[in-house]
Structure formats: C-alpha cells, structure tokens
Amino acid sequence: MKFAVIVFPGSNCDVDMYHAIKDELGEEVEYVWHTADSLDAFDAILLPGGFSYGDYLRSGAIARFSNVMKAIQQAAEEGKPILGVCNGFQILLEAGLLPGAMRRNNSLKFICRPVTLRVENNETMFTSLYEQGEVITIPIAHGEGNYYCDEETLQKLMDNRQIIFRYHDENPNGSLDNIAGIMNEKGNVLGMMPHPERAVDALLGSADGLKLFQSIVKYWRVKHVVTS
C-alpha cells in the first residue's frame, strides 16, 4: 500500500506521519508538495498537523485553496482513505470535505499533552482493529481544536455514526459533544484533532495510534483481494 503525506508551507508533523507509515507500519510512503495536481499513484492520503500558511485568517483557511486540494477532492470521491490530523482536520473542514468548523480552545491556550479517547465506531476503515468503546491514549497539540456544528449537523453525525472518537476522561478544548474525530457520510474521510502518528510506539508513551493505520491497511488489502 502506498501512502501520500501532503506537505503545506508550515506543516510540521509531516515527518512524524512519514515515520509512522514507513518505520512502524512498514508500508510505502512519499511526501507530496502542495503544488501537486495528481494523487493517482497513491492508495491513501494523509494531511498532517502543523500551521499551514502560518494559520493566517483561520487554521486551514488558506491551505484549502492549495493546488493539491483538487486532487484530494477527487481521491475522496474515488473512495480512497483520507486522514486529516489536527491542522489536516482543520483543512478538511475548510474545504467542505467534513462538516462543521473549528474554534479556539475554550481556555484560549495551546494545549499539548496526552488525552484519553473513546472509540465510538469501530466499523470503519480507520477503526476496525479497535474494540467498540475501547479507551485509548493519544496526544493532542493544538490551539484551535474546539469543534462546533449546528444542532441539525450534530444530529446527523450521531444518526449516521460519523462521530468516530470522543474525548473520554475530560474535554480539553470545549469541543461540542466531546467530539475528537468525525468522518464523512461515505466513510472514507476522517478528521481528528489528536495525533495517532505520535502514538505508534510504546517508547513515545503509547502505541494506541498504530491500530488506526493498521486498520487502513487491512481495509485496503481486503478490498484489493476482492477486486483482483
């Protein structure tokens, strides 16, 4: 399986994502600059954290106009797995690939520490190797992670089981309904504020994030066998 790690000006978690895929997952991965106009060579797309374009205007507001976003939109329509972490999640929201918006943390402070999450839906291409309701430890590092949407959208997210992760022991940023990660209706685009790529080895304090990437590979292999 071949992964693309999209690099925007100001990305700073791209190396962590690359390491998680190459060294921990053992799959093929390449950096792809934001000027790229095709992602046809890749099986999954990863949008890493950071401060794309310095977070000017709003986090992700400028990156959503990058040339590569057209290719990401096409990949989403084709059903390829797309994961946006932290700033990557913010970009997916700004691009309309996921519903809702991101606000400043209710503390108005940048927060960087491990948090516990509850797996709300393990019947997805991103979470099939977790147990339903499993509590995992994943670090966060953000100043604008306070997810918000209107009541109608929230109800739709709940009805369709699109809320994939919720904060468990505490809500660190004021996010609506303790939401830490959501996916699109089609089930192939996941955005989450916590960083699974920083939790892929016990030496980092947790390896709980590795199963997310392993779930993607499992999905791809099963699909590849079925279609070949």
Q: What is the pLDDT of residue 168?
A: 98
Q: What is the pLDDT of residues 125-168, one digit of tens each?
A: 999 999 999 999 999 999 999 999 999 999 999 999 999 999 99
Q: What is the pLDDT of residue 227?
A: 64
Q: What is the mean pLDDT of residues 159-179?
A: 97
Q: What is the pLDDT of residues 15-69, one digit of tens each?
A: 999 999 999 999 999 999 999 999 999 999 999 999 998 888 888 899 999 999 9
Q: What is the pLDDT of residue 204?
A: 87
Q: What is the pLDDT of residue 58?
A: 84
> Which ranges of 107-181 does DSSP label H, i.e. alpha helix?
151-159
Q: What is the pLDDT of residue 56?
A: 83
Q: What is the pLDDT of residue 213?
A: 98
Taking 90 as the threshold, does the pLDDT of residue 196 lie above it? yes
As given in the structure block, the two tokens for residue 88 are: 């990557």
Q: Domains of the chain by range and CATH?
A: 2-224 (3.40.50.880)
CB atoms inside a 10 Å sphere around CB 22: 15
Is residue 86 flagged as an active site residue?
yes
Q: What is the pLDDT of residue 49?
A: 96
Q: Pick the catalytic residue: 27, 94, 120, 195? A: 195
Q: Pick the catalytic residue: 34, 86, 120, 144? A: 86
115-142 core/surface letters (b: 16 or more CB in 10 A; e: else) = bbbbbbbbebbbbbbbeeeeebbbbbbb
Q: Decide: helix, strand or coil at residue 139.
A: strand
Q: What is the pLDDT of residues 56-106, one digit of tens each?
A: 888 889 999 999 999 999 999 999 999 999 999 999 999 999 999 999 999
Q: Pick the catalytic residue: 27, 94, 120, 197? A: 197
Taking 70 as the threshold, does the pLDDT of residue 228 lie above it? no
Using pLDDT thresholds of 50, 70 and 90, give the confidence band for residue 223: confident
